[in-house]
Amino acid sequence: MSRFIFHCDLDCFFAAVEIRDNPEYKGKPVIIGADPKGGKGRGVVATCSYEARKFGLHSALPISKAYQLCPHGIYLRPSSSKYSEASIKVMTILHSYSPSFQQVSIDEAYIDVTGICNNYEEATALALEIQKEIYQKVGITLSIGCAPTKSIAKIASDQNKPNGITVIKPDEIHSFLYNMDITRIPGIGKKTKKYYNKLGFYIIGDIIKTPLHIMIEKFGKYGKWVWEIANGLDNREVKEFQEERKSISKERTFYEDTGDFNLILSKFEEINSRIHTYVEKHNIYYRTITLKIRFEGFLTFTRSKSLNYPFQDKEKVMTIILSLYNEFSKYPKKVRLIGIKLSNIEKQKNKKQLQILQFS
């Protein structure tokens, strides 16, 4: 059965929050970013309202250029805490619609509503309900793309902005994508585009009609990924944790190469603490611990230990690291760098339950 995946992206997010709080800005070109200082300012545009986009303004444009194009705009400095607060409210609402939720940036998230919706009419109605609730409770709008895969849902959410809903059924994927510029595929930016253009690829249709083996021949492994997206083949699931992240690691170089065990020990402890501040905050569990050690002369070793269950335990990591380090303790060279990596990671929702499992 086909999946129903929503990609939800807030419309001109920072600007929308400012307009919500200052209704007199409504309908005007509002630009959030660096101070334009009458056209002499440095820095860039973070985002701008759709009225400002009509003048050619967009994210990352130098603020001086923005000022040239739109001198009568309302230029505001970003107020991050306001945006974080709005983002948290939106994400909480989105999460309430499905346990299968994945936030991917401050203003975008996926939810998988397969099983909650039975057909595309229901999916459209649900998308409308989400838009309505967010507007009522947070006062800003978002656009929603609904499709059987994450990548198509993402492309779809961008199709009908602002306040749009775009639903793509499985048999519509090809016609939806065919005439789009290749840069609509996430990951094909300005530089990659040039390379694709040189080889005769301009629209997504050029990719669709190319056999997979040719794509691999021309663009390698990445060519396969692009070809699969263009053909609606993307099995990635909506996970709460960003699956792109495969490991968490930290390393430190000593100011001076050292053979002092106490110094090495305290550095390991420091790195371990820092990593655990992060993993505890994000509820991350891991199964594999890797020690990295580099000696003077650049000789580098790694040693790993994996447990057969995911865990999160600072003391245990330290014990494992020291037992792995033991092999090198008599090494006749001074240490230049040490590092710890946690991999085979996953995000756990229910910490307590997992701990019970571990000891059973």
Select the binding partner of residue 52 from Mg ion, ligand TTP, none (C-beta < 5 to 8 A, by kind): none
CB of 60 to ligand TTP, least distance (A): 4
What is the set of active-site residues?
Answer: 108
User: Which of residues 13 and 219 has its CB atom nearest to ligand TTP in the complex?
Assistant: 13
Is 31 in contact with 52 (CB distance < 8 Å)?
A: yes
Contact string 50-89 vs Mg ion (x = CB under 5 A) = ----------------------------------------
User: Which of residues 47 and 103 has its CB atom nearest to ligand TTP in the complex?
Assistant: 47
Closest CA relative to residue 45, chosen from 27, 24, 25, 31: 31
CB-neighbour burial class of residue 209 (10 A; exposed 0-12, middle 13-18, buried 19+): exposed
Is 10 among the residues that bind Mg ion (CB under 5 A)? yes
CB-neighbour burial class of residue 42 (10 A; exposed 0-12, middle 13-18, buried 19+): exposed
Select the binding partner of residue 14 from ligand TTP, Mg ion, none (C-beta < 5 to 8 A, by kind): ligand TTP
Distance CA 139, CA 17 (A): 8
Phi, psi angle pair for 226, to nearest 5°: -65, -45
Q: Which of residues 197-216 bind Mg ion (CB under 5 A)?
A: none
CB of 10 to ligand TTP, least distance (A): 5
Q: Find the binder of Mg ion among 29, 32, 75, 107 (CB under 5 A).
A: 107
Using CB under 6 A as the criterion, which residues of the chain lie in contact with ligand TTP when the complex forms?
A: 9-14, 46-47, 59-60, 106-107, 161
Helices vs strands, H then E, count in the chain: 13, 13
Is 9 in contact with 131 (CB distance < 8 Å)?
A: no
User: Which of residues 1 and 60 has its CB atom nearest to ligand TTP in the complex?
Assistant: 60
How many other C-beta atoms lie within 10 A of the C-beta of residue 88? 13
Residues that bind Mg ion (CB under 5 A): 9-10, 13, 107
